[in-house]
Amino acid sequence: MKQMTRRTFSATAASAMAMAPGDRIRVGVIGCGGRGVGAHIATLLKMKEADNVQVNAVCDVFDKRAQHASALTGGRAYQDYRQLLANKDVDVVVIATPDHWHAQMAIDAASAGKHIYCEKPMAHSVEEAKRLVAKIRETGVKMQVGVQGMSDDSYETAYKYVQQGALGKVVIAQIDYSRNYKDDYWLKPVDADLKPGVNFNWELFQGPAQKRPFSAERYFNWIRYFDYSGGVPAGLFVHRVTRIIKSLGLKVPEYGSAHGGKFEFTSSLGEVPDTINIMLDYPGGPTVMLISSLANDTPVAHVLRGHKATLEFTPTGFTIRPQKLFANEAREIVHKKTGGEDTELHWRNLLRAIRFNEPLKCDVMLGYYGVVACQFGILSQRQRKYMKWDAAGERIVPA
């Protein structure tokens, strides 16, 4: 990213950011679906007393969801997120909406002086991600990207070993995230209570996306449509590639390609591929391989392959094993992880960043690098082209 100049913003925004360590941090939740309620609100209610945090505002374009979240938290319910951002009693916002809204909501939240927990991916395109990085730098708000696996210390620890040369030159990194569905993929039932123009705002849901006629299927199953989602890369791979980026200190790929399609669920209304595999070449190496299908969940080893040794991530941390040729030069190392892929730990890190300026586990730049990696795959598969990074324009283009 180019160097951004830091600008001033409103006194109201600055006042909202100024917090003493003992202050209660007040949260507004934007997006009260499964992730917003089942993960964020459930976690914040659990943390309320011990971490001095309170949910006092909730927002959803479907009134039923907003009212349910309000009943759980006692927070004021909104349908339009901009009204929530105008609430002076909100210090931090959670953005747990469909992907196509993430960047604009985060930009607006930063402009309002709110700290941010933004679900992954933090943007729906590289251009959106660049604008969001600029806004976070301009305002100085704290923004945690919701790749909660970064609250597992395995990846920052792996980076230290890589830097020390324990693996030798890393030439290949391989990681997967697969699932299996029987009849259709990523399919949720449509709630018969939803009534556009009565308790649901279709226009607010669409927001910056291409305008379409009302479709309850598109709302409840947004992750299956390119207007609102990048499919597997944006929904699943972002969790995995961020681990590789952190472990190896990577930034943006030089070249990339993706392969796949709707191979199993050919009659599904969903647009995104059920199977997709991405290969990314970073400058000077390594090649990063991202493997996934929604029609077969057999796991693949998560490994960093170096000239001297291989690091394999495990449920308890990682193990480094020497290559036979270097058995006398390298040694086996076992790391037992602390932390984990945990929303509560990720939230606690954000709260400590706000109160004590603790470094964020997944800041806006790490979020940006994850968006770029995933967009390489999305664009390559959709265009059926080999892609490259245009450094001058900071964009992905056909090679």
Q: Residue 381 has what pLDDT?
A: 98
Q: pLDDT band at 331, cuts 50/70/90? A: confident
Please give the average per-residue pLDDT across 32-49, as a whole number.
97
Predicted confidence (pLDDT) at residue 257 exceeds the cutoff of 50: yes
Spatial CA neighbour of 248 closest among 342, 293, 313 = 313
Please say whether the beta carbons of 381 and 391 come within 8 A.
no
pTM over 0.85: yes
Among 3-17, 174-188, 365-379, which stretch is predicted with the lowest mean pLDDT? 3-17
The pLDDT mean for the chain works out to 95
Q: Residue 11 has what pLDDT?
A: 38
Q: Residue 18 has what pLDDT?
A: 60
How many CB atoms lie under 10 A from the CB of residue 8? 9
Encode pLDDT of 279-304 as tens digits: 999 999 999 999 999 999 999 999 99
Please give the average per-residue pLDDT across 2-27, as a whole number.
58
Q: Which two tokens stand for residue 240?
A: 């995995």
Q: Residue 396: enclosing H or E segment and its boundaries?
A: strand 395-398
Q: Residue 262 has what pLDDT?
A: 97
Spatial CA neighbour of 70 closest among 83, 53, 57, 82 = 57
Q: Residue 6 has what pLDDT?
A: 33
Q: Residue 22 has what pLDDT?
A: 80
- 313 has which bridge partners? 302, 318
What percent of the chain lies above the pLDDT cut of 70? 95
Domains (ranges, CATH) in the chain?
Answer: 11-141 (3.40.50.720), 151-185+227-339+369-398 (3.30.360.10)
Spatial CA neighbour of 221 closest among 260, 181, 277 = 181
Predicted confidence (pLDDT) at residue 13 exceeds the cutoff of 80: no
Cα separation of 68 and 74, whole Å?
10
Please give the average per-residue pLDDT across 60-66, as a whole number.
98
Among 57-66, 112-121, 329-338, 365-374, which stretch is predicted with the lowest mean pLDDT? 329-338
Q: pLDDT band at 14, cuts 50/70/90? A: very low
Q: Residue 17 has what pLDDT?
A: 60
Cα separation of 187 and 304, whole Å?
34
Please say whether the beta carbons of 128 and 101 come within 8 A.
no
Cα separation of 284 and 278, whole Å?
18
Q: Residue 312 has what pLDDT?
A: 98
Please give the average per-residue pLDDT across 148-174, as a whole number.
98
